[in-house]
Every structure is written in C-alpha cells, then in structure tokens.
C-alpha cells in the first residue's frame, strides 16, 4: 500500500508544476523532481499523522517491534572511536521488563515501522520517477486528463489517414475529387 501511495503521490506531484505554470512550458526534469520530492514529503506528513493519532488517541498506527538484537554501532560507537566493551554490548537481548511484564527483547516503539513505511513509499516514488523520465512523460497515464482524449484521438487518427491515402488507387482519388466538387 505504501509503494502504491508513493507512485500515486509522485504522479500527482509531477503535474503540479504544469498546473501552477500554465503559460510557460515546464521541463521534464523539474516535473520528475517535484513529483519525487512531493511524494516523499507526503510520506513524512503521513507519519506525523500516525504519530499524532498514537499520541492523542492512543491508537497503534506505528506498530511496535520487539528486537532481539541491536548493533552497538547504531549508538555512534564506531564514529566516536570507542571500543564496543566501553559502550556496552547489546548483541543478544534475552529479556526486558516493561511495567512488570517480561518481554523477549527490546521494544523499538514504532521506529522500524516508520522507517519501513517511508522507505517503501520513497521506493514507489523513485520507480515512478524513473519510468516518467525514461518515457519522457508521454505514456498514456502521464498525460493530463484535459489533453488525454483529444491528443490521443488525434495521434491515433493521423496514422490511419496517412495509411489510407497511400493505399488509394488513382481511380479512387479521382472519384473523391469528383464527389467533393458536387
């Protein structure tokens, strides 16, 4: 669902520059970049909403995860140059007591859920942006709705007319000219 949301919001965001600036042509790169950034921003706003719902209404939209292992390097130990034994070793967590209840690991309180959601939505946005750039924004889905029907109809009729004109015999062409003059 988050991947699909990333695609949909990137698609919407890619057309916002065209809607905002109707008078001048908008570059393909600007539309693609705006779509990508717009989708990632919507992902961040959605995670704020999840956090607010969990905080205010006590829902569980940001799923808690019980971790049984944690790398000490996550705590900046390697960057600070501290040996692992000075930071404490979190290698295998066997149990943690929370409010008198023993759990089989450490609770991350929604961090993995939030990061996973944002990563998947960003991945969807990147896929859309790549397809948009490769296709130069010309695929059927990527054409604004107001232009879709008329432009596609014209594009489909033009090759048919050219093909039909090439196949006519001289007699058919003469008969059409006579019919037009009548």
Q: How many domains does the chain divide into?
A: 3
3-state secondary structure of 44: helix
Residue 98, domain extent: 66-107
Per residue in 6-57, pLDDT (tens digit) is: 999 999 999 899 888 888 888 999 999 999 999 999 999 999 999 999 889 9
pLDDT at 42: 96
pTM over 0.85: no
Are residue 54 and residue 135 in the same domain, yes or no?
A: yes
Per residue in 96-146, pLDDT (tens digit) is: 888 888 888 777 778 888 888 999 999 999 999 999 999 888 765 655 555
Q: Which of 83, 107, 131 is the last residue of a domain?
A: 107
Are residue 53 and residue 13 in the same domain, yes or no?
A: yes
Are residue 51 and residue 124 in the same domain, yes or no?
A: yes
Are residue 8 and residue 40 in the same domain, yes or no?
A: yes
Are residue 36 and residue 121 in the same domain, yes or no?
A: yes
Residues sharing a CB contact under 8 Å with residue 108, sequence separation 6 or more, in sequence order: 64, 65, 66, 67
Positive/negative CA dihedral, 78, 82, 84, 90: negative
Are residue 153 and residue 137 in the same domain, yes or no?
A: no
């Amino acid at each position: 669902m988050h991947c699909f949301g990333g695609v949909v919001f990137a698609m919407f965001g890619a057309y916002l520059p065209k809607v905002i600036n109707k008078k001048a042509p908008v570059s393909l790169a600007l539309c693609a970049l705006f779509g990508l950034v717009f989708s990632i921003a919507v992902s961040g706003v959605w995670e704020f909403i999840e956090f607010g719902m969990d905080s205010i209404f006590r829902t569980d939209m940001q799923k808690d995860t019980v971790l049984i292992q944690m790398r000490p390097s996550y705590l900046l130990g390697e960057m600070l140059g501290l040996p692992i034994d000075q930071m404490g070793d979190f290698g295998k967590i066997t149990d943690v007591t929370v409010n008198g209840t023993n759990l089989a690991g450490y609770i991350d309180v929604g961090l993995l859920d939030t990061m996973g959601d944002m990563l998947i939505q960003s991945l969807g946005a990147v896929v859309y942006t790549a397809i948009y750039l490769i296709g130069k924004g010309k695929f059927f889905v990527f054409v604004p709705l107001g232009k879709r029907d008329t432009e596609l109809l014209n594009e489909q009729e033009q090759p048919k007319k050219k093909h039909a004109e090439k196949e006519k015999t001289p007699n058919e062409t003469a008969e059409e000219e006579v019919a037009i003059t009548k």
